Amino acid sequence: MRVQDLSTPAVVVDVDVLDANLRTMAAVHPGPALRPHVKAHKCTALAAAQAAIGHRSFTCATVREVVGMAAAGLGHDLLLANEVVDAGRLRSMVDAAVRHDARVTVAVDSVATIEAAAAAGVTEVLVDVDVGLPRCGCAVADAGHVADLARARGLQVRGVMGYEGHLMALDDPVAQRDRVDEAMALLVAAHADVGGDVISAGGTGTHHLHRTVGHPGGAPGVTEVQAGSYALMDSHYAARGHPFGLACHVLGTVVSVSSRHAVADVGLKAMGMDHGNPTTGAGAVWFLSDEHVTFAPTRPVAVGERVAFVPAHIDPTLAMHEAIWLVRGDEVLDRWPIDLRHW
């Protein structure tokens, strides 16, 4: 099969760029120093490629991701880095972990999340700490108390996690380093009250600022980094100068052409838009509709022509599609199901 044979819109990944990205990150944070976040691609085949290069621990955002990873034989050490209060849903995850001999750890930050985990039969947790992103996580001063409550309910507390997501895209590198240091100082302080072997943090945008076993520079104390987007990348992260190539684009077909603009079949239902419009070498993107992208071509384009659009945010884009098409040049090498979609 050739790329021209694909039905569009289609998620296309350059296998050589993907491989280079995986190797680049593994050189910085080898083996257990990286806990890749599968929410970025929701694809067990891609996770298997990450495991093959040495990363056997994974971060998940949903129960479905945990269940799917366990069923795929990738359950060596799975972290559900998300608060869940639905004990029934957690129980289905625990059952899957038992069935597939997987190790599962769950983030907790309150009495309610501890009670849900205990009721579901979860055995291991991390205390999620607020390090500045206004999302989940307990206050630093409360972390030790949350850990005590978890142990009182029979849960093993492996350590702490904290996500400095508000610092992923700071333009000033000096300010970013300083603020990441401050956020990680909070996490290390919480860990002193919690205990355990794990201090989990970070993402693609701050991966270079964390000191792990393989990376002597950066904020001290972190044992693992939860980066995910690095594998495929997107235009939002690429603009920040990280050493990873744009491996992924959504292939579209031009369906209409006028004197001023052209339209392709890559719309809002095929592209994550929270970080802005996609980009294309074919011209300036004006806007997206449900099923269409309207752009101003920088050269003549014809109806039926294929155009590549790079998403600004890879994670929600991949969740909208059923498969990744692996290519080298114009040759389609493989089809990887995006099998961890939905909830």
User: Domain spans of the chain?
Assistant: 3-11+241-337, 30-226
Domain 3-11+241-337 belongs in CATH node 2.40.37.20: yes
pLDDT at 112 over 80: yes
Could you report the per-residue pLDDT of 25-48, keeping only the tens digit for each? Answer: 999 999 999 999 999 999 999 999
Is the pLDDT confidence value at 212 over 80?
Answer: no
Helix or strand or coil: residue 271?
coil
Q: Is the dihedral of CA 177, 183, 187, 189 positive or negative?
A: positive
What superfamily does domain 30-226 belong to in CATH? Answer: Alanine racemase (3.20.20.10)
Return d(Cα 98, Cα 93) in angstroms, integer.
9
Specify whether the backbone of 86 is left (phi greater than 0), alpha (psi in -120 to 50) or beta: beta
119-139 confidence digits (pLDDT tens): 999 999 999 999 999 999 999
Radius of gyration of the chain (CA): 21
> Nearest 10 degrees: CA dihedral of 310, 311, 312, 317?
-160
Take residue 131 and report the two structure tokens written for it.
């390090």
Q: State which amino acid sits at residue 322.
A: E
Mean pLDDT of 253-271: 98
pLDDT at 213: 60
| Exposure letters 190-204 (e unless 16+ CB within 10 A, then b) | bbebbebebbbbbbb
Average pLDDT value over all residues in the chain: 96
Q: What percent of the chain has pLDDT over 70?
A: 98
Residue located via tokens 């750890």: 105
What average pLDDT does this structure show over 166-174? 95
Structure tokens at 242: 């990280």
Q: Are 79 and 38 in contact (CB under 8 A)?
A: no
| Burial of residue 123, with CB atoms counted within 10 A of its CB: 0-12 exposed, 13-18 middle, 19 or more buried | middle
pLDDT in tens, 274-295: 999 999 999 999 999 999 999 9
Query: How many Å apart are CA 321 and CA 132, to the nearest integer?
Result: 32
Query: Is 90 exceeded by the pLDDT of residue 187?
Result: yes
pLDDT at 214 over 90: no
Nearest Cα neighbor of 308 from 290, 330, 337 is 330
Residue 218 has pLDDT above 90, yes or no: no
pTM of the full predicted structure?
0.96
